[in-house]
DNA sequence: CGTTATTATGACATCCACTTTCAACTGGAG
DNA sequence: CTCCAGTTGAAAGTGGATGTCATAATAACG
Protein backbone atom coordinates (compact mmCIF):
# COMPACT_ATOMS: atom_id res chain seq x y z
CA UNK A 1 0.00 0.00 0.00
CA UNK A 2 3.08 2.12 -0.06
CA UNK A 3 2.78 1.93 -3.84
CA UNK A 4 -0.87 2.92 -3.68
CA UNK A 5 -0.17 5.98 -1.56
CA UNK A 6 2.63 7.04 -3.85
CA UNK A 7 0.24 6.89 -6.74
CA UNK A 8 -2.37 8.91 -4.87
CA UNK A 9 0.24 11.55 -4.20
CA UNK A 10 1.54 11.63 -7.74
CA UNK A 11 -1.95 11.99 -9.11
CA UNK A 12 -2.70 14.75 -6.64
CA UNK A 13 0.46 16.59 -7.64
CA UNK A 14 -0.05 16.46 -11.37
CA UNK A 15 -3.70 17.33 -11.00
CA UNK A 16 -2.64 20.47 -9.17
CA UNK A 17 0.17 21.29 -11.55
CA UNK A 18 2.81 20.73 -8.89
CA UNK A 19 6.25 19.41 -9.63
CA UNK A 20 8.00 16.24 -8.66
CA UNK A 21 11.30 16.91 -6.90
CA UNK A 22 14.08 14.92 -5.28
CA UNK A 23 13.17 16.35 -1.90
CA UNK A 24 9.55 15.32 -2.15
CA UNK A 25 10.52 11.81 -3.15
CA UNK A 26 12.86 11.48 -0.21
CA UNK A 27 10.32 12.87 2.23
CA UNK A 28 7.54 10.65 0.97
CA UNK A 29 9.72 7.54 1.19
CA UNK A 30 10.83 8.44 4.65
CA UNK A 31 7.33 9.22 5.81
CA UNK A 32 5.85 6.00 4.45
CA UNK A 33 8.55 3.89 6.05
CA UNK A 34 8.22 5.56 9.43
CA UNK A 35 6.35 4.89 12.59
CA UNK A 36 2.93 6.31 12.61
CA UNK A 37 2.33 9.57 14.52
CA UNK A 38 5.65 11.25 13.81
CA UNK A 39 6.17 14.93 14.53
CA UNK A 40 7.60 17.22 11.86
CA UNK A 41 10.78 17.57 13.88
CA UNK A 42 11.17 13.81 14.24
CA UNK A 43 10.72 13.20 10.55
CA UNK A 44 13.05 16.08 9.73
CA UNK A 45 15.81 14.69 11.95
CA UNK A 46 15.39 11.25 10.49
CA UNK A 47 15.68 12.60 6.97
CA UNK A 48 18.56 14.90 7.76
CA UNK A 49 20.70 11.94 8.75
CA UNK A 50 20.88 10.85 5.11
CA UNK A 51 20.06 14.12 3.39
CA UNK A 52 21.62 17.01 5.33
CA UNK A 53 20.68 19.40 2.59
CA UNK A 54 16.91 19.12 3.02
CA UNK A 55 15.48 21.96 5.07
CA UNK A 56 12.93 21.92 7.82
CA UNK A 57 10.60 24.18 5.86
CA UNK A 58 10.50 21.72 3.00
CA UNK A 59 9.58 18.85 5.28
CA UNK A 60 6.96 21.04 6.86
CA UNK A 61 5.47 22.06 3.53
CA UNK A 62 5.58 18.57 2.10
CA UNK A 63 3.72 17.09 5.06
CA UNK A 64 0.99 19.66 4.48
CA UNK A 65 0.82 18.46 0.91
CA UNK A 66 0.49 14.86 2.06
CA UNK A 67 -2.43 15.89 4.21
CA UNK A 68 -4.08 17.72 1.33
CA UNK A 69 -3.53 14.73 -0.91
CA UNK A 70 -5.26 12.57 1.67
CA UNK A 71 -2.37 10.26 2.52
CA UNK A 72 -1.57 11.86 5.87
CA UNK A 73 -3.54 13.28 8.73
CA UNK A 74 -2.44 16.05 11.04
CA UNK A 75 -3.00 15.50 14.73
CA UNK A 76 -2.49 17.04 18.12
CA UNK A 77 -2.06 14.95 21.22
CA UNK A 78 -1.46 17.86 23.52
CA UNK A 79 2.32 17.56 23.72
CA UNK A 80 2.76 20.80 21.80
CA UNK A 81 3.85 19.17 18.56
CA UNK A 82 1.86 18.54 15.45
CA UNK A 83 2.05 14.92 14.40
CA UNK A 84 1.28 13.30 11.08
CA UNK A 85 -0.02 9.81 10.65
CA UNK A 86 -0.58 7.67 7.57
CA UNK A 87 -4.13 7.33 6.40
CA UNK A 88 -5.59 5.13 3.73
CA UNK A 89 -8.60 5.70 1.54
CA UNK A 90 -11.70 5.82 3.72
CA UNK A 91 -9.85 4.59 6.77
CA UNK A 92 -10.57 5.89 10.22
CA UNK A 93 -9.48 5.05 13.71
CA UNK A 94 -9.16 6.62 17.14
CA UNK A 95 -6.36 6.56 19.69
CA UNK A 96 -5.22 5.29 23.04
CA UNK A 97 -2.38 7.49 24.25
CA UNK A 98 -0.14 6.40 27.11
CA UNK A 99 0.56 9.28 29.45
CA UNK A 100 3.67 7.61 30.80
CA UNK A 101 5.61 6.22 27.83
CA UNK A 102 3.90 8.20 25.10
CA UNK A 103 3.02 5.16 23.02
CA UNK A 104 -0.01 5.46 20.79
CA UNK A 105 -2.35 2.58 19.99
CA UNK A 106 -5.17 2.68 17.50
CA UNK A 107 -8.66 1.29 17.66
CA UNK A 108 -11.92 1.29 15.78
CA UNK A 109 -15.36 0.92 17.28
CA UNK A 110 -18.33 1.06 15.01
CA UNK A 111 -20.82 1.33 17.83
CA UNK A 112 -19.19 4.41 19.26
CA UNK A 113 -19.18 6.02 15.84
CA UNK A 114 -22.86 5.28 15.40
CA UNK A 115 -23.72 6.74 18.79
CA UNK A 116 -21.80 9.88 17.92
CA UNK A 117 -23.90 10.34 14.83
CA UNK A 118 -27.06 9.86 16.88
CA UNK A 119 -26.02 12.40 19.48
CA UNK A 120 -25.23 14.91 16.77
CA UNK A 121 -28.44 14.22 14.87
CA UNK A 122 -30.55 14.72 17.97
CA UNK A 123 -29.25 18.29 18.06
CA UNK A 124 -29.43 19.05 14.39
CA UNK A 125 -25.65 18.96 14.19
CA UNK A 126 -23.88 17.56 11.14
CA UNK A 127 -20.56 15.87 11.89
CA UNK A 128 -17.69 16.48 9.49
CA UNK A 129 -14.99 14.81 11.54
CA UNK A 130 -14.29 13.91 15.11
CA UNK A 131 -11.54 13.06 17.49
CA UNK A 132 -11.66 10.54 20.25
CA UNK A 133 -8.59 10.03 22.38
CA UNK A 134 -8.29 7.94 25.49
CA UNK A 135 -5.41 8.95 27.71
CA UNK A 136 -4.05 6.70 30.42
CA UNK A 137 -1.64 3.88 31.10
CA UNK A 138 -0.84 1.29 28.47
CA UNK A 139 -0.53 -2.39 29.28
CA UNK A 140 3.23 -2.17 29.64
CA UNK A 141 3.23 0.84 31.90
CA UNK A 142 0.69 -0.68 34.27
CA UNK A 143 3.00 -3.49 35.27
CA UNK B 1 -23.00 26.95 42.42
CA UNK B 2 -21.01 30.08 41.93
CA UNK B 3 -20.83 30.21 45.72
CA UNK B 4 -19.74 26.59 45.89
CA UNK B 5 -16.92 27.11 43.43
CA UNK B 6 -15.74 30.18 45.25
CA UNK B 7 -15.54 28.15 48.41
CA UNK B 8 -13.63 25.38 46.68
CA UNK B 9 -11.15 27.93 45.46
CA UNK B 10 -10.79 29.68 48.80
CA UNK B 11 -10.18 26.38 50.54
CA UNK B 12 -7.63 25.41 47.93
CA UNK B 13 -5.82 28.70 48.35
CA UNK B 14 -5.59 28.65 52.10
CA UNK B 15 -4.61 25.02 52.09
CA UNK B 16 -1.71 25.95 49.86
CA UNK B 17 -0.77 29.05 51.80
CA UNK B 18 -1.64 31.33 48.91
CA UNK B 19 -2.99 34.82 49.36
CA UNK B 20 -6.29 36.36 48.52
CA UNK B 21 -5.96 39.41 46.30
CA UNK B 22 -8.23 41.89 44.56
CA UNK B 23 -7.06 40.61 41.19
CA UNK B 24 -7.91 37.02 41.97
CA UNK B 25 -11.35 38.03 43.18
CA UNK B 26 -12.02 39.99 40.03
CA UNK B 27 -10.77 37.21 37.78
CA UNK B 28 -12.78 34.54 39.57
CA UNK B 29 -15.95 36.60 39.39
CA UNK B 30 -15.43 37.33 35.76
CA UNK B 31 -14.64 33.72 34.95
CA UNK B 32 -17.67 32.35 36.76
CA UNK B 33 -20.00 34.80 35.08
CA UNK B 34 -18.63 34.12 31.60
CA UNK B 35 -19.53 31.91 28.76
CA UNK B 36 -17.99 28.54 28.99
CA UNK B 37 -14.91 27.78 26.87
CA UNK B 38 -13.25 31.18 27.05
CA UNK B 39 -9.68 31.67 25.93
CA UNK B 40 -7.18 33.45 28.18
CA UNK B 41 -7.12 36.37 25.80
CA UNK B 42 -10.90 36.64 25.73
CA UNK B 43 -11.18 36.63 29.49
CA UNK B 44 -8.32 39.09 29.75
CA UNK B 45 -9.99 41.53 27.38
CA UNK B 46 -13.30 41.22 29.16
CA UNK B 47 -11.64 41.96 32.49
CA UNK B 48 -9.51 44.75 31.15
CA UNK B 49 -12.63 46.70 30.20
CA UNK B 50 -13.41 47.31 33.87
CA UNK B 51 -9.97 46.75 35.36
CA UNK B 52 -7.36 48.13 32.99
CA UNK B 53 -4.67 47.58 35.58
CA UNK B 54 -4.86 43.79 35.62
CA UNK B 55 -2.16 42.19 33.51
CA UNK B 56 -2.37 39.31 31.09
CA UNK B 57 0.15 37.31 33.10
CA UNK B 58 -2.03 37.49 36.17
CA UNK B 59 -5.06 36.23 34.29
CA UNK B 60 -2.95 33.46 32.82
CA UNK B 61 -1.56 32.40 36.19
CA UNK B 62 -4.91 32.64 37.92
CA UNK B 63 -6.60 30.40 35.36
CA UNK B 64 -3.90 27.81 36.02
CA UNK B 65 -4.77 28.05 39.68
CA UNK B 66 -8.45 27.51 38.92
CA UNK B 67 -7.53 24.36 37.03
CA UNK B 68 -5.39 23.11 39.90
CA UNK B 69 -8.17 23.87 42.34
CA UNK B 70 -10.51 21.80 40.19
CA UNK B 71 -12.98 24.51 39.25
CA UNK B 72 -11.73 24.92 35.67
CA UNK B 73 -10.54 22.66 32.92
CA UNK B 74 -8.00 23.54 30.26
CA UNK B 75 -8.89 22.57 26.72
CA UNK B 76 -7.67 22.72 23.15
CA UNK B 77 -10.03 22.77 20.22
CA UNK B 78 -7.35 23.15 17.62
CA UNK B 79 -7.76 26.87 17.04
CA UNK B 80 -4.38 27.54 18.60
CA UNK B 81 -5.75 28.98 21.82
CA UNK B 82 -6.04 27.34 25.19
CA UNK B 83 -9.55 27.61 26.54
CA UNK B 84 -10.84 27.18 30.06
CA UNK B 85 -14.26 25.89 30.95
CA UNK B 86 -16.10 25.64 34.24
CA UNK B 87 -16.22 22.23 35.82
CA UNK B 88 -18.14 21.02 38.80
CA UNK B 89 -17.30 18.25 41.21
CA UNK B 90 -17.34 14.95 39.33
CA UNK B 91 -18.89 16.48 36.23
CA UNK B 92 -17.95 15.41 32.75
CA UNK B 93 -19.14 16.14 29.26
CA UNK B 94 -17.92 16.12 25.69
CA UNK B 95 -18.24 18.67 22.90
CA UNK B 96 -19.81 19.48 19.57
CA UNK B 97 -17.77 22.20 17.89
CA UNK B 98 -19.15 24.15 14.95
CA UNK B 99 -16.50 24.63 12.29
CA UNK B 100 -18.33 27.60 10.83
CA UNK B 101 -19.45 29.82 13.72
CA UNK B 102 -17.21 28.38 16.40
CA UNK B 103 -20.03 27.69 18.83
CA UNK B 104 -19.50 24.88 21.28
CA UNK B 105 -22.25 22.63 22.58
CA UNK B 106 -21.90 20.05 25.30
CA UNK B 107 -23.26 16.56 25.62
CA UNK B 108 -23.05 13.50 27.77
CA UNK B 109 -23.53 9.94 26.64
CA UNK B 110 -23.17 7.21 29.19
CA UNK B 111 -23.14 4.45 26.59
CA UNK B 112 -20.21 5.94 24.73
CA UNK B 113 -18.27 6.30 27.95
CA UNK B 114 -18.95 2.69 28.81
CA UNK B 115 -17.80 1.51 25.39
CA UNK B 116 -14.60 3.49 25.77
CA UNK B 117 -13.84 1.69 28.99
CA UNK B 118 -14.49 -1.64 27.30
CA UNK B 119 -12.22 -0.85 24.39
CA UNK B 120 -9.47 0.18 26.76
CA UNK B 121 -9.94 -2.84 29.00
CA UNK B 122 -9.71 -5.22 26.07
CA UNK B 123 -6.19 -3.94 25.53
CA UNK B 124 -5.07 -3.77 29.11
CA UNK B 125 -5.18 -0.01 28.96
CA UNK B 126 -6.31 2.05 31.97
CA UNK B 127 -8.10 5.30 31.07
CA UNK B 128 -7.28 8.38 33.13
CA UNK B 129 -9.16 10.86 31.00
CA UNK B 130 -10.40 11.23 27.48
CA UNK B 131 -11.51 13.73 24.95
CA UNK B 132 -14.27 13.34 22.45
CA UNK B 133 -15.01 16.20 20.10
CA UNK B 134 -17.40 16.19 17.19
CA UNK B 135 -16.62 18.85 14.61
CA UNK B 136 -19.11 19.95 12.01
CA UNK B 137 -22.04 22.29 11.38
CA UNK B 138 -24.38 23.32 14.16
CA UNK B 139 -28.12 23.56 13.65
CA UNK B 140 -27.97 27.26 12.92
CA UNK B 141 -25.19 27.06 10.42
CA UNK B 142 -26.90 24.31 8.44
CA UNK B 143 -29.81 26.52 7.49
C1' DC C 1 -1.21 49.13 64.87
C1' DG C 2 4.06 48.91 62.68
C1' DT C 3 7.27 45.28 61.26
C1' DT C 4 8.57 41.73 58.34
C1' DA C 5 8.70 37.48 55.76
C1' DT C 6 6.25 35.74 52.07
C1' DT C 7 3.61 35.81 48.11
C1' DA C 8 1.63 38.38 44.11
C1' DT C 9 1.71 41.48 40.35
C1' DG C 10 2.62 43.35 35.74
C1' DA C 11 5.70 45.04 32.30
C1' DC C 12 8.81 42.99 29.62
C1' DA C 13 11.76 39.38 27.85
C1' DT C 14 12.09 34.81 26.14
C1' DC C 15 10.71 30.47 24.28
C1' DC C 16 9.03 27.54 20.86
C1' DA C 17 6.69 25.55 17.17
C1' DC C 18 5.44 26.70 13.42
C1' DT C 19 4.81 29.92 9.20
C1' DT C 20 6.18 33.24 5.84
C1' DT C 21 9.53 35.59 2.98
C1' DC C 22 12.63 35.90 -0.73
C1' DA C 23 16.53 35.30 -3.72
C1' DA C 24 18.53 31.53 -5.95
C1' DC C 25 17.37 27.21 -8.11
C1' DT C 26 14.90 23.46 -10.66
C1' DG C 27 11.41 20.67 -13.45
C1' DG C 28 9.39 19.99 -17.49
C1' DA C 29 6.36 21.87 -21.23
C1' DG C 30 7.06 23.67 -25.70
C1' DC D 1 17.64 24.34 -25.33
C1' DT D 2 14.59 28.13 -23.37
C1' DC D 3 11.88 29.88 -20.28
C1' DC D 4 8.68 30.32 -16.58
C1' DA D 5 5.95 28.59 -13.00
C1' DG D 6 6.89 26.13 -9.16
C1' DT D 7 10.44 24.85 -5.41
C1' DT D 8 13.88 25.23 -2.01
C1' DG D 9 16.32 26.49 2.33
C1' DA D 10 18.14 30.05 5.21
C1' DA D 11 16.54 33.38 7.78
C1' DA D 12 13.17 36.38 9.62
C1' DG D 13 8.50 36.80 11.50
C1' DT D 14 4.35 35.28 14.34
C1' DG D 15 1.47 34.47 18.13
C1' DG D 16 0.49 32.28 22.22
C1' DA D 17 2.47 30.52 26.28
C1' DT D 18 5.72 30.97 29.93
C1' DG D 19 9.72 32.95 32.59
C1' DT D 20 12.05 37.00 34.93
C1' DC D 21 12.46 40.43 38.24
C1' DA D 22 11.86 44.74 40.63
C1' DT D 23 8.04 46.56 43.01
C1' DA D 24 3.80 46.09 45.67
C1' DA D 25 0.47 43.86 48.54
C1' DT D 26 -0.95 40.33 52.10
C1' DA D 27 -1.19 38.61 56.52
C1' DA D 28 1.06 36.72 60.52
C1' DC D 29 3.47 38.37 64.51
C1' DG D 30 5.01 41.18 68.26
MN1 LIG E 1 -3.34 6.69 14.37
MN1 LIG F 1 -17.62 22.16 27.88
ZN1 LIG G 1 2.96 3.30 28.26
ZN1 LIG H 1 -22.38 27.12 13.80
Q: How far apart are CA A10 and CA A60, in angstroms?
A: 18
Q: Answer yes or no: is pLDDT of B1 > 80.
A: no
Buried b (16+ CB within 10 A) or exposed e, A38-57: bbbeebbebbeeeeeebeee
Compare all CA atoms of chain B with the CA of A125 and give the residue at the minimum distance.
B138
pLDDT at position A56: 98
Interatomic CA–C1' length for residue A93 and nucleotide C27, angstroms:
38
Q: How many helices (H) and strands (E) does chain B have?
A: 6, 6
Q: Answer yes or no: is pLDDT of B94 > 90.
A: yes
* Cross-chain residue pair A109–B115, CB shorter than 8 Å: yes
Window 94-133 of B, Cβ < 8 Å to A: 96, 98-99, 105, 107, 109, 111-112, 115-116, 119-120, 123-133
Identify whether the C-beta of residue B36 lies closer than 8 Å to the C-beta of residue B43. no
Distance from the alpha carbon of residue B77 to the mean position of ligand 2, in angstroms: 11
By the CB < 8 Å criterion, does A135 face chain B? Answer: yes
Residue B58 CB lies within 7 Å of the nucleic strand C: yes
E strands, B52-143, are 72-76, 82-86, 94-98, 104-107, 126-137
Residue B40 CB lies within 7 Å of the nucleic strand D: yes
User: Which residue ranges form the domains of chain A, and what is each CATH number?
Assistant: 2-86 (1.10.10.10), 94-142 (3.30.1490.190)
Going by C-alpha positions, the residue among B61, B59, B66, B85 that lies closest to residue B13 is B66
Chain A 14-33 residues whose Cβ is under 7 Å from strand D: 17-19, 21, 23-24
Q: What are the pLDDT digits (tens) for A29-56?
A: 999 999 889 999 999 999 999 999 999 9
pLDDT at position A89: 85
Question: Residues of B marked as binding for Zn(2+)?
Answer: 98, 101, 138, 141
Please name the member of B96, B107, B119 whose beta carbon is closest to the beta carbon of A109: B119
Burial classification of residue B72, based on how many CB atoms lie within 10 Å of its CB (0-12 exposed, 13-18 middle, 19 or more buried): buried
Q: What are the pLDDT digits (tens) for B44-79?
A: 999 999 999 999 999 999 999 999 999 999 999 999
Q: How far apart are CA B79 and CA B63, in angstroms?
A: 19
Q: Answer yes or no: is pLDDT of A95 > 80.
A: yes
Q: What is the DSSP letter of B20?
A: P
What's the whole-number average pLDDT of chain A?
96
pLDDT at position A2: 87
Amino acid sequence: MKRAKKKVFTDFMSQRGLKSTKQRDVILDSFLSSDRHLSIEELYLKIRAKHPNIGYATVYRTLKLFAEAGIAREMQFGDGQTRYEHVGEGEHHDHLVCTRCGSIEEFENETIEKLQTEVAASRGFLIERHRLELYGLCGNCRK
